[in-house]
Structure formats: structure tokens, C-alpha cells
Amino acid sequence: MEYQGPEPADLVNVCALNSAFLDWLHVRGGTSALPVTPQIGAALAGMNRRQFERLSRTPFLLMSFREHDESQWRSLFAEQPDTDLFDALQAPDEEATRLITAGLGFLWQLSKRNPYAARLVSGASLNWCEQLAACTLVELFARAVVEYPLLEPRMIDNPDLWRKLLNGCVSAKKDVRVAARVSALQTLLTRSSTGSYRHLAAAACSMPAVAVRVAERDSR
């Protein structure tokens, strides 16, 4: 069976979310409040605007909502919201709140329309995507927005992936960027440290071509 990957409009949204997340990381100084290594923090701090734009075109979300933290999300999916949505949105870090609502809202609608595409841009399990889609948007925000620790760089414990992102994906050479993006995507989809990654190969079959097409439109 062939699975459909993200549509061009989905990848435009991925790029926009990545850009907003990178701006947030840069403003926070990288290492001050997030679990990033000094090397990653220094690399982010030293990037110029064009390099940030190139990195944002990575064909998956650079921000993670800890989709593979099964105990955390089991609790979030199971609990009944007992707070008003507007109270939940009044978090100490307003920009983090906006990122969480925008990112989870994007994955929620994508999971409803095409859960396999949601897997491809987040590396999440199909089961997680299906449970996300089963929530109403109000329930999702009331449960998850108050969980500020949900927001972190994707696969921050994988230095090989971040070397690809912070070197090849920001290269001035277009062919290097294309190769780095495809390689980074393959790293995301073939990671096997948890069971939720083990069934991604079939759903990922057509995605590299999509990643290449996105990269080829990038002339910067």
C-alpha cells in the first residue's frame, strides 16, 4: 500500500513553525532554559538570518512535543480538562504557548486528514496521531498548553541529527542542503530506540521525493 505524504501547503506550514521555533530558541539563548548542548546553543547563537531561513526549510518539525513520552501523553489523553481554556492559555511564556497551540493545532488537523503525513513531519507513532485526532481542539489545548515542558527541540539527544541540521542544512551550497535534509529526514524516520518508530518505513516510502522537491525550490 502506498501512503500519501504531506501536501505542499503542509510543508509551508512546517517551514513557518520551524522559523518561529528557531526565533524563540535564539531569543532564549539556546542553553538558558532548554536541554540543548553548549555546542548547539553556540551554533544557534552564531547563525545569521539567511542560515535560519535555510534551517527552517527542514521538511519536518524542529520542535517536539515529546510525542514519544508515553506516560505523559497517556495522562494528557485520559484526563478531563478541569480548567478554562483561556486560563490555560495564560502561561508564563506567551511565545512558548503560541508555539504549542500552533504546532499541536497543525498536527491535530493533519492527523485528522492524513495521519501518515503527521507521522512524517513529527516522527510520532500512528497511535499517537490517532489519539490526538480523537480530541477536540478545545480539549487538546486545555490539556496540553499548560504543559510547558512539552516543548523542546526534536531528538535533542541525537547529536548526529543536529550536526546534519546545523551544518549541511544551512550550507550555502544547494546540493549540500538537499542531501542534508533528506538524510535528516531518514534519521528521524528510521530511529529505532523506541517501539513507536519501528513501523514508519512503509509510510515513509514516498517522502524523500517530497523533501527533494521542497529543497529544490529553495535557491538561498
User: 60 or 28: whose pLDDT is higher?
Assistant: 60
State the pLDDT at residue 2: 56
Q: What is the number of other CB atoms lying within 10 angstroms of the CB of residue 21?
A: 23
Q: Identify the pLDDT of residue 157.
A: 83
Instruction: Give me the count of residues in the chain.
Output: 220
Q: What would the pLDDT profile of 187-220 be if each residue is shown by its tens digit?
A: 888 764 444 433 434 444 444 455 455 445 564 5
3-state SS string for 95-158: HHHHHHHHHHHHHHHHHHHCHHHHHHHHCCCHHHHHHHHHCCHHHHHHHHCCCHHHCEECCCCC
Contacts of 136 (CB under 8 A, 6+ apart): none
pLDDT digits (tens, 9 = 90+) for 120-137: 999 898 899 999 999 988
Average pLDDT, the chain: 79
Report the candidate in 29, 12, 148 with the shortest Cα–Cα distance to residue 90. Answer: 148
Q: Contact, 59 vs 214, CB < 8 A?
A: yes
Does residue 82 carry a pLDDT above 90? no
The answer, yes or no, to whether residue 114 has pLDDT greater than 90, is: yes
Q: What is the DSSP string of 38-87?
A: HHHHHHHHT--HHHHHHHHTSSS-SEE--TT-HHHHHHHHHSPP-S-HHH
pTM of the predicted protein model:
0.81
Does residue 91 carry a pLDDT above 80?
no
Q: Mean of the pLDDT values across residues 72-82? A: 76
Parse the chain into domains and list their residue ranges. Answer: 8-216
Start-to-end CA span in the chain (Å): 36
For residue 79, pLDDT over 60 is answered with yes
